[in-house]
Structure formats: C-alpha cells, structure tokens
Amino acid sequence: MVNKIVLDQASMQRALTRITYEILEHNKGGQNLILVGVKTRGEYLAHRIADRLEQLEGVQIPVMAIDISDYRDDRLNQHSKLGLDEEDRVNIIDKNIVLVDDVLFTGRTTRAALDALIQIGRPKTISLAVLIDRGHRELPIRADFVGKNIPTAQNEKIQVKVKEIDEVDQVEIVH
C-alpha cells in the first residue's frame, strides 16, 4: 500500500484559510454563525476555522461537534447518538450553520448530518465546508466551500491527517 501526499501542511493550512475567507464573504462578519464539525477530524478542522475567524475579526464563533457514525442511512441504527446535548439543540435554532467535514465523497455522511441537524433544531441556513472534495457523488449534494478538489478513483481512499491526533497535518491518497 502506497501513500501519496496530496496536500502538505502548508497547503492544508492555506486551504483552511481560504475556506475561512469564503465563509466570511457569505456570512457578513460571522454573525449568527455556528460551526458544526463532523467527528472526528471535521471537528478539529472546525476549530481551526474558528481560530482563524477569531484572528481576523476578534469574534468567538461557537463550535459544536456532531457524531453521525451511527446515523448514516446505509448503517441502520435506531439508537443514534449525535453527541449533541439539549443546550446545543436550542442553540442552533435560527442560526447560520456551517457544517465542516474533512472529505466529501458520496454525500451520504453529509446527508446524515443534515438530517440530524434538521431533526434536532431549526437552523436558518446550513452550508457545507469540506477540506477535500474527491468526487463520486451519489446524492445531489454540493459543498459551498471547498479547500481542494482532488479527483480520485473509486477504489482509492483519501486520508486526512490532523496534528491533534495524527501528529502531522497532511492529506494522503491510499492506493
């Protein structure tokens, strides 16, 4: 198995920077904004975007994490746990949500996250930010903010590594 680095640390940082600028462009000054990271790595990426927004605008944007590993339509499970508590549920009402994930592939993860968010609260808008869009969508889902488009083959795997848990910041293709 060969891993090829497709995004090094510097490029990954800059992709997040660009996403942040675009989020700002679409959400004036970051008001009413909540970042929701899809566990595990999406959560770390959401925090990094929040850090950047703070550097730039001096505002602290709330970050939540959502765990949809039990919630996907292809893995039926009645006892889904989202990792969101009651307070979170209230907080997202009428807010502009940016859902943050590491990789956009078939769109099933995103759909599950959308379902979950809508189910628990009533956000005003939901947009989607992904570090990597690798194509091969199976659902009509499109990211609003993309760090990097990386065309891949079906059988390849994209692995996003973040320093917090993987020791390095980089994106690899696993053949």
> Under rule CB under 8 A, which residues in 109-128 are in contact with another protein?
none
Can you tell me which of 23, 104, 146, 171 binds another protein, judged by CB under 8 A?
146
Write the DSSP string, 92-161.
TTT-EEEEEEEEESSSHHHHHHHHHHHHH---SEEEEEEEEE----SSS---SEEEEE----TT-EEEEE
Q: Which is nearer to another protein, 21 or 93 (CB)?
A: 21
The Cα 98–Cα 15 span in angstroms is 16
Site string for another protein, 34-63 (x = CB under 8 A): --------------x--xx--xxx------
User: In the complex, which residues of this chain contact another protein (CB under 8 A)?
Assistant: 9-10, 13-15, 17-18, 20-22, 24-25, 28-29, 48, 51-52, 55-57, 146, 148-149, 163
